[in-house]
Amino acid sequence: MTNTNCLRGIQCPDCKSDSPFVVTVETNVIMHDDGWIETTGDNDSWGDWSFIRCDACDHHGIVSEFRSSNQ
């Protein structure tokens, strides 16, 4: 496994790819009736509970299911 930064310890359990992945990230926005504006400086969050999908094989689940057991 070669990931050493944001994806450290993450690998697709199906095809063994170590990137890239689609991950659901929560963030804050300013919401108006006609749309929204991204805010800056807010904490974007994702973790073991977040949705993840392997871009290589479309296997999906939650991040904790993609974490290596020997991390």
Question: Tens digit of pLDDT for each residue in 25-63?
Answer: 988 888 999 998 877 666 678 999 999 999 999 999 999
Tell which wins on pLDDT, 18 or 71.
18
Name the 3-class secondary structure at 2: coil
* Cβ-based neighbours of 15, under 8 Å, separated by 6 or more: 54, 56, 57, 59
Quick one: CA dihedral 43, 46, 51, 54, positive or negative?
Answer: positive
pLDDT at residue number 68: 82
59 Cβ neighbours under 8 A, 6+ residues apart? 12, 13, 14, 15, 53
What is the rounded distance in angstroms from the CA atom of residue 24 to the CA atom of residue 51? 5
